[in-house]
Structure 1
Amino acid sequence: MDRLIKPDHQVLDLLFLRNQKCSQSFKLTNLMHTMSVAISLTSSTPSIFSFSQSFSIIPPLKTAIFTVSLNKPCDHPPLSTPPATILVRSSMLPTGKAHQDDLRRLFSKPGPHIFKDATIPISLVGPHVAEYLLSPCSKSLEMNFLFSKAISYCDESQLTRLLRVAVENGNSQFVSALIEAGADVNDRDLNGESLVCLGVRSGKTDVVRILIESGFVIDEKIDRFLHVAAATNRVDLMEIMCLGFADIDLNLTNSEGQTALHLAAIHGQIEALRFLVSVGSEVDTTDFAGWTPLHYAANEGQFEAVEFLLNHSVYAKYAVTKDGKTAFALAVEKGYLELYDLLHLGDLLHRAARIDDVHTMKSCLAQGAKVDGKDQNGWTPLHRAAFKGHLESVKLLVSYGARVDVVDGTGYTPLLRAVEAGHVEVGMYLLSHGAKASLKSLKGVVDYDMECFKNHFSLVSPLHQEKERA
């Protein structure tokens, strides 16, 4: 015979309640038919756990109840790896009677008369244990096993509350375990914030993906998680949400009428801007104050965001807020000099070059307008002045460092635009200041020397003049 006693638990689950006295009962049965058995109970952590009685006698084939308790209430569960255990030892007692001191002496001397009947692990369970395991202070090496055990004693409301903590902490394994155990994935707090929005704030893509795949239902009256992701430049999260919700409204607005694109612009999140525009967000949309994303980017001095939005906007540069302000006006108020050219001076310089307004051109350049700034067709002010034949404007631009061989969107230099329009004097001036003597034709690029250009201009100019008169 290798044991005299049989316990009713292989593992003893003790429900832990924070700062409360915690205990759990278990049974031991005497397997002997004719003889009483002496019992000794010891804990592997006697400073933490104690017993209602450490020594006892169980009559033949009888069962006795014992209780293990935490020695004192504590704020967090005394978890350990490996877990604390109860050692059950026994010894035959022919007399059937003995005092406590006799039993203590009996078990103090090792020998073949002592049987080690069982080692019972103590598993602390319940919502307070699970909450502790979710906290950063928990460093248990067997956390996943302990967590699964702990939540088996939680009801749905407790599981759901723990799920919110797990999502906030970004622990995907615990999130999965809680949902599988019965937590409500569509739970919302008192302010209506969803678990997905909380997951986006935590920044964990795997958590957000699990919530969506577990049946989360979006509520467009409340949910604004695209806004949160856009503000933090989390394109990966936005991709997951757009894939998870095929009908998601990209232009959904918050309480101020702002879309996710507005938020990305405010924070200068270039990757978020690119993604949102690529999937269909409206660049020129306005909020309740009449502000476009460009207005916000200009107001915050977000140069890259301003540049990007200008390249994808139809009218935002010229749009005015309800206070009558353009994006340029907002940039001026804040003193963002580097934005002046993008938002206003560049346009003004191009316009002045087109009409040969040298005075305005000088003013623009003095204020920081880029002499080689391009319009939507790739034209610089020099392209425009050369094409119009404005020699004084061409001279001014060259004196300010304009590149004479910069190409536009179709591969034409200012010189080629002058040739195209038949402006000989402008063409000769550009040649004298380093412009390359080359013309673009249907068959490729053909090089000319100075004399060829003179002959070309002498032929083109009358034709051009005749066309102008017509």
Structure 2
Amino acid sequence: MATAKPASPSPPPSTAVVPAANTAAAADKPAVEQLLEVAEDEVVIDFKPNAKCRADLRLRSLHPSLPVAFKVQTSSPLKFLVSPPRGAVQPLSSASLRVVLRPQQHAPASFPRSRGDRFLVLSSLSAAHLDSSASSSAATGGTTAIRLRVFFGGPYLLRLAAEAGDAAAVRLILRRQPHLLPLLEPEAAVPDGAEQWAPLHAAAARGDTGEVRRLGPDSMGARDREGRTALHVAAAAGEAEAAAALVDMGADAAATDARGRTPLDVAREKGYQEVVDVLERWELVMTAARRGDLQSLESLLSKRAGVRGRDQYGLTALHLAAIKGHCDVIALLAGSGCMDIECEDVEGHRPLHLAVEGGSAEAVELLLDMGAEVHAATRRGATPLQMAATIGVTRPSRCWCEAVAPNEAAASGFVHRVLVFLLDIVCVDSWCPLLNPELFILCNLYQESR
């Protein structure tokens, strides 16, 4: 299938074009006044294979007192019929034309905007001028011309473009014919049974940031049959704002499609530098969080870099800062409200889980101070407290101990297990329960629970 070129600005309203005459003639004669206007800026045809396809045009006379003669020509007379091909429009009145595309077995060679099909609407106060050659009409100065391009759309071509992953063509069709959007919903019937895009894919393809934000939370992980996420589609369509919105809502910026390409790979292939910048900034955010580079992170945030994006494991910048124990980065990301302190990776690990795993008592205490849930369970049922007991907490903080209700902890055996572990290492670590307030609190919790 021939695909459409990347999105281009919509054509301006149809206006009269005066054929260029020689310079001397142009100097001697005043410019020809526009006589007609066409309500449509393009000939829009809903294409169906092996069927006649029609489009209507509406002409309006701009002359206040005389009828305006018109004649319609096409660059593809074997494909198109125009009814009526010529006529006259009464002063300040309107007339309707019908363009008919003869049945075509195959989809247009280029769509939605045809590269080779054009229409020319000639107008004059004298019908005789319309029968003259273009050059002679221009010489007499009595004819104006309006040029129209052909736009092929409709359900058939929309589905064809969607199935081929031609995001640019989908975007153009939906911008011209937004009523076709429901056809891209998963439950829409498809002749060959191919999997269709989710509504989020379609919204990303046409750059509808508002719709992307509305749909995103419920269908962020949706993929088409080629393994493309909505972020892949936004990257392929060059929709930087939609891509930024998806990253900001936590889209997996490292997801790969069936061909192993990430959204960044797709944007680079297509040459969409704005999208590349959006996705590269997300990678820089992850790197800065992992390294504890607070200055770089602050600079990226000032440039509205997305911080909620995730890698292939579902890890966010906050997860990386937590496992590395970078408290200043944690404070920036979570304390400013940029990120949810309870965000989860694909295994259900929250930042507190990873702070425990990383062995940073300071990061654990900071997250607990910020309200992190000590009993939050992963997909396998592990809580931060369990992980602390299993891995071994050598410096439990007062916040850590006070976050556990004594009876609840005792019932689950968590305090006992942590206490036994700590008592096992007292000799090695030279701790004394009576001198260490954190361990003393833990001992008291254990005694109260017995």
> TM-score w.r.t. structure 2 length?
0.39
Q: Larger relative CO (CA 8 A, sep 6+): 1 or 2?
A: 2
Higher CA-based Rg? 1
